[in-house]
Amino acid sequence: MDNTLFGLADKQWIWIATVVFASTFVLGTYSAIKLHRRTGRPYVLALVTFGWILQTIGLYARGLQYGGCPLSNQFELVQFMVWSAIAIYIFVGPSFRVSLLGVFTSGFACLFSILSMVFEHWDNPSREPIFGDSPWIETHAALALFSYGVFGVLTLTSVMYLLQSRSLKQKKVVGGLFPFLPSLVELVSINGRLLAMGFIILTVSLGIGYSYFIEDLSSVLTVKLASTVAVWLAYGIILFLRFKLILSSKKFAWVCVIVFIAALLSLAAVDREPETETPSPQASILNSSTGDS
Amino acid sequence: MSRENDSFIVLSINHEVAPLDVRERYSVDDSKANDLYALLHNTGGVSESLVLNTCNRFELYTKLEKDANIECVVAILAEFYGEPSDKVLEHLHLRSGREAVQHLIEVSAGLRSQITGEAEIFGQVKSAYAESQNRGYAGKLINRVFQKGFQAAKLIRNSTTVGEGQINIANVAVDLASKIFGDLKSAAVLSLGTGEIGEKTVKALRSRGAKDFGIASRSQERAEEVASKWGGAPHVLADLQSYLPQYDIVIASVGTDGAVITHDLVKKCAARRRGRPLFLIDLGLPRNIEQSCDAFDNVFLYNLDDLASIAEENIAQRKEAVIESTNIAANKAQHIWEAIAKRGLL
């Protein structure tokens, strides 16, 4: 299943990218906690971007065999989600001007990347061809995974909010990560924007998926459909509650963390294939593509 | 001590070696500094000089001419102050060569300040250097030593925690406010009470960007009087419930027996705040704000003890950083001094 590009197999590129993410995380954390120094944003951004380019090469090499996005098994789904989260940090993150976000994102990328490689069965042979002839199915799958990346970054900024809030409540404001965390009001604003962005992307993705689903209702397993709609609904409800100011900022942050964990767990559930029946080509397409959503 | 080392010296009278009355005696204003510069360069023996005068130190950095020595400079100082040389020497802290460079770096970085790590001294040393340059008393050696010394001091301040964390209560409160609200321009501040500590905190918040202020007092007259002085909208304390929701930061320092801000009051005002955090700073004795107000998710309550404890932790953290900073200063001083010798500036 390995594909080689520039002399290295796809997984080798991804391993190297993971090492870069891990190094960035260790360096940034050590710098902040032990040396009490702010790791420069350009420095972290450069390292994370370097890791992201390596990961992109790995995923591109992997995608060559499908002629599209590599989204055919859990390993690829997680890798694509990590790739999306890093992309959000690189292209949108600087506008947030949040110190430590790069360090947190690299830690997130490193953790999930390692998990996806440690569990070898996540990288089972794919159900090829995964997208058939329709570029819209591929768009649907890629967008859905991209929204997970956005929700991943939202989870990180929510964790930052909870850490900052806890430090201020407990009056432990000297040393540690406190001097480097952004203000509560900034984090609340960022969280709101990320949630809206992720929800819109997921909605568009599901809209595209729905137009195919109604043509063949049996093409998507009930468990996948239920999980997908549950994740979408959960984020929709959070957005509504936040908009109506029913959730406090702290509860909002907690709910974002919990829903993201649930969404990740749902990835395993929705990636299952029917055991007793051989799916039609279109069902196969939808099963693969909704595995992420 | 080598002849090269003797050519650059610093004579310092500071809080580490001299009590306040002595420092007062040796302190110089602009006009006196001008006289001292004139005396130093008219008498001979000194080719470059720089006078640094702050509330805690008088320092004279000089490059001596080849046939001069430290005693010459002490004699000039004795003449200037009208005291015998041995009396002047009694309070002088003398350093030469590399040690003088290290002293300059340590002073500029705030390592030798009475309040460790304070940043104001850096600006004062820079002003003194600019003054010496403008008067034409800074030559190649002083230029080199001070420019490189400033770089080293900046390195220390940027790479250690010696200047981190606020150490007075008003500034600690302002730092906390910026950790809650970020840019203070959009945060509205209410001062309950018109005492000195409230005024200091209001000033500190204003200096960090806060623009919208309210001043509350028991009487409308007093509120108006102080509001016109400090800047802000006057309020009467009795109407607190009506205007409290408009404010994000509340500084309470009212002389009172009971709490001015109660749990119920905060609960009522929370609904009108649309989820914005509320930072309550209780500077009153007895306390002005019920401790239970801290139970709300979006309310952050700090009293005098909390703020003082943070200031103490910051001071302790700064002191811990002094050893690391002194090592950096020593290494940089060695490097600067070697480079100066190589360039033949001595």
Average pLDDT, chain A: 81
A257: pLDDT strictly greater than 90: yes
Q: Between these two residues, B222 and A285, which has the higher pLDDT value? A: B222
Percent of chain A exceeding pLDDT 90 equals 37
Residue B129 pLDDT level (bands cut at 50, 70, 90): very high
Q: In Å, how far is B53's CA from the nearest CA of chain A?
A: 32
Q: Which residues of B touch A100 (CB under 8 A)?
A: none
Please answer yes or no on whether A248 and B294 come within 8 Å at the CB atom. Answer: no
Taking CB atoms and an 8 Å limit, are A249 and B275 in contact across chains?
yes
When divided into structural domains, chain A yields a total of 1
What stretches of chain B adopt beta strand conformation (E)?
A: 8-14, 46-53, 57-64, 93-96, 188-192, 212-217, 233-236, 249-252, 278-282, 299-303
Record the tokens describing residue B161, joined without a space. Answer: 């925690």
User: Looking at residue B214, what DSSP letter applies?
Assistant: E
Predicted local distance difference test score (pLDDT) of residue A228: 85
- Predicted local distance difference test score (pLDDT) of residue A131: 58
pLDDT band at A30 (very low <50, low <70, confident <90, very high): confident
pLDDT > 70 fraction of chain A, expressed in percent and rounded: 81
B294 Cβ under 8 Å from any chain A Cβ = yes
Res A132: pLDDT:
59
- Single out the catalytic residue among B55, B72, B269, B293: B55
Inter-residue contact B252 to B282 (CB < 8 Å): yes
Q: How near does any CA of chain A get to the CA of B181, in Å?
A: 5
| Average pLDDT value for residue range B158-168 | 83
B181 vs A249: CB contact, 8 Å cut-off?
no
Tell me, yes or no, if B55 is annotated catalytic: yes
* C-alpha distance from A81 to closest chain B C-alpha (Å): 31
Q: Work out the average pLDDT over A88-97.
A: 79
B271 CB near a chain A CB, below 8 Å?
Answer: no
Kind plus residue range of the DSSP H or E element containing B121: helix B120-135
Q: Is the pLDDT of residue A170 over 60?
A: yes
Distance from CA of B310 to the nearest CA of A (A): 7
Q: Which two tokens stand for residue A115?
A: 């998990």
Domains and CATH numbers, chain B: 3-159 (3.30.460.30), 169-309 (3.40.50.720)
Chain A environment of B276 (Cβ under 8 Å): 185
Kindly list the residues from chain B whose CB atom is less than 8 angstroms away from the CB atom of residue A184: 179-181, 277
Confidence of residue B50 (pLDDT cuts 50, 70, 90): very high
| Overall average pLDDT of the B288-310 stretch | 92
Q: What is the ipTM of this complex?
A: 0.77
Look up residue A147 and give its amino acid.
S
| CA gap B306, B291 in Å, rounded | 12
Higher pLDDT, B239 or A133: B239
- Predicted confidence at residue B188, as pLDDT, reads 94
Instruction: Give helix B120-135 / helix B140-159 axis angle, nearest 10°.
Output: 170
**Residues B201-237 pLDDT 10s:** 898 899 989 999 999 998 899 999 999 988 899 999 9
* A71/A271 Cα distance (integer angstroms): 10
Position A292 pLDDT exceeds 70: no
CA distance A90 to A44: 10
Contact B300 A251 (CB under 8 A): no
**At A98, which amino acid appears?**
V
User: What values do phi and psi take at B276, rounded to 5?
Assistant: -70, 140
Q: How far is CA B236 from the centre of its chain?
A: 35
CB contact under 8 A, B276 and A248: no
Would you call B21 an interface residue with chain A, using a CB distance cutoff of 8 Å? no
Which of B178, B179, B317 is closest, CB to CB, to A175?
Answer: B317
A91: tokens are 């292209």
Count how many Cα atoms sit within 13 Å of the Cα of residue A184 in the half-sphere of its side chain. Answer: 31
Q: Residue B18 and residue B306: Cα distance in Å, rounded?
A: 34
Rg (CA), chain A: 19
Q: What is the pLDDT of residue A187?
A: 92
List all residues of chain A from 105 to 124 with a beta carbon under 8 Å from chain B.
none
Report the predicted TM-score, pTM, of the whole model to 2 decimal places: 0.77
Q: Which pLDDT does position A93 carry in this prediction?
A: 76
pLDDT digits (tens, 9 = 90+) for A117-161: 888 778 776 555 555 567 777 788 889 889 999 999 999 999 999
- Residue A162 structural domain: 4-290
- Cβ partners under 8 Å of residue A173, min gap 6: A167, B176, B179, B310
Phi/psi at B307 (5° precision) = -70, -40
